[in-house]
Amino acid sequence: MALHFIRRGAVRSGQRVLIYGASGAVGTAAVQLAKALGTEVTGVCSTANLELVRSLGAERVIDYTKEDSPGGRFNLVLDAVGLRKTSRLKEACRDALVPGGKYASVDRGLPWMTASRLLVLRELVEAGKLKPVIDRRYPLEHVAEAHRYVEQGHKRGNVVITVAREAGDG
């Protein structure tokens, strides 16, 4: 999803990208992808996740629990949280586009994964420029517990469901 929305923003090296929800599943990938394209990244997240987002490559990190302004203009504002959550800062971010800048939300439009995009992701992973952020792992039999955890809305990166192979499966 992150690659789809970063591509939709048509950003180029040297441009400025703001990712609202930079510590979630889409956000952690988007920060890394935007950095790989050579953009200047500003991430928005909670106090608890500031260092995580910095470690992914964001030059600037904004704590949405304390700030009301993004403090600049951006070529792309990516809402990686979705339209169901809002704040004064989120509204200010939406309005912080340069002329001709783009706003993208994970709630607008379905991503289309192509073989070429999968190859791009593979190359970035192999080059060490894209690393998955895993918050927790749950075995398949605890999928309901995993859903409850995700629905709390404070996970960092991804939650993984592991599927054990049966003995004899090759």
pLDDT tens-digit series, residues 92-121:
998 999 999 999 999 887 777 789 888 989
pLDDT at 167 over 70: no
| Predicted local confidence at residue 109, as pLDDT | 73
Biggest CA–CA distance in the chain, Å, is 60
Its pTM stands at: 0.87
- C-alpha of 23 from chain center: 6
Judgement on whether residues 119 and 137 belong to the same structural domain of the protein: no
Identify the domain containing residue 159 by its residue range: 133-170
Q: What confidence tens digit (pLDDT) does each residue in 48-97 have?
A: 999 999 999 999 999 999 999 999 999 999 999 987 778 889 999 989 99
Q: How confident is the model at residue 168 (pLDDT cuts 50, 70, 90)?
A: low
User: Helix, strand or coil for residue 77?
Assistant: strand
Judgement on whether residues 146 and 69 belong to the same structural domain of the protein: no
Q: What confidence tens digit (pLDDT) does each residue in 137-148 have?
A: 999 999 999 999
Closest CA to 77 of 111, 30, 131, 23: 30
Judgement on whether residues 24 and 94 belong to the same structural domain of the protein: yes
